[in-house]
Amino acid sequence: MEEHHVVQWLGMPVNIDTLQMTWIAMAIVFVLAILATKSLSLVPGRWQSVFELAIEYFSGQVDEVVGSRGKFLKPVFISLFLFILTCNWFDQIPIFHAPTSDLNTTLGLALLVIVSVHVLALYFRGGKYVAHFFEPFKVFVVINLIEELAKPVTLSFRLFGNIFAGAVLTWVLSVLLPSWFFPPGLAWQLFGVFVGFIQAFVFTMLSISYFGNALKDGH
């Protein structure tokens, strides 16, 4: 597998390649958003159609799962999905690598989601949100806290594991099998595109469900 450029910053290792790919992914999403919205029309073009499809789907999911308190979060979820999707698909470009195959990236995204969940839940529900940790009995606070601590771990490792495993598997097959038998061809790239889409979708939907569980008074 390719070696990454790692430097030390404040005593911590920093993967320069991951940072570069992350900024490129953000720039791509930003440019695509501009292209999709610069000339809106009743007869949408290609980019406008793609963005409208994503916006309509995730808007519907937010309305159903989170409710009225989550309306302002719709752009966040759509941006999150497009960013993760772009990062995942970088593995299909030879000179790039997916930032989401770096645990630092996925853990950062997971912590952003979970911390935002708790902050907004405290803002909207206050004491009711704190009280739910002690239900149905006070002793359950330990179990509920462990569950909350596990969420960013499982959320980050699920995305990281699937993207990293795909990259490793591609590399192993390319080394073990002759080039005529396993070319870096269309079939495997299509599979990578599919996996990248699924993982971005799963991460975003789980994030929406976490917000829904925390912000709705019925939970």
Mean pLDDT of the chain: 82
Q: How many Å apart are CA 51 and CA 17, to the nearest integer?
A: 28
Residues paired with residue 15 on neighbouring β-strands, in sequence order: 6
**pLDDT tens per residue across span 165-211:** 777 776 666 666 655 555 555 567 777 788 899 999 999 999 999 99
What pLDDT sits at residue 8?
62
Q: Which candidate, 200, 205, 201, places its Cα nearest to that of 88?
A: 200
Domain spans in the chain, listed from the N-terminal domain onward:
6-215
Q: How many Å apart are CA 122 and CA 53, to the nearest integer?
A: 32
Higher pLDDT, 80 or 95: 80
The answer to whether 162 and 192 have CB atoms below 8 angstroms apart is no
Helix, strand, coil tally for the chain in percent (to 5): 80, 5, 20
Q: Which candidate, 89, 69, 101, places its Cα nearest to that of 168?
A: 101
pLDDT at 127 over 50: yes
Q: End-to-end alpha-carbon separation of the chain, Å?
A: 46
What pLDDT sits at residue 86?
93
pLDDT at 1 over 50: no
Q: 66: helix, coil or strand?
A: coil
What pLDDT sits at residue 40?
64
Q: Which candidate, 100, 80, 76, places its Cα nearest to that of 157?
A: 100
What pLDDT sits at residue 125?
85
Model confidence band, residue 106 (pLDDT cutoffs 50, 70, 90)? very high
Q: What mean pLDDT is predicted for residues 81-87? A: 93
Helix axes 103-125, 186-215, angle to 10 degrees: 20
Q: What mean pLDDT is predicted for residues 87-96? A: 84
Q: What mean pLDDT is predicted for residues 87-108? A: 87
pLDDT at 27 over 90: yes
pTM of the model: 0.84
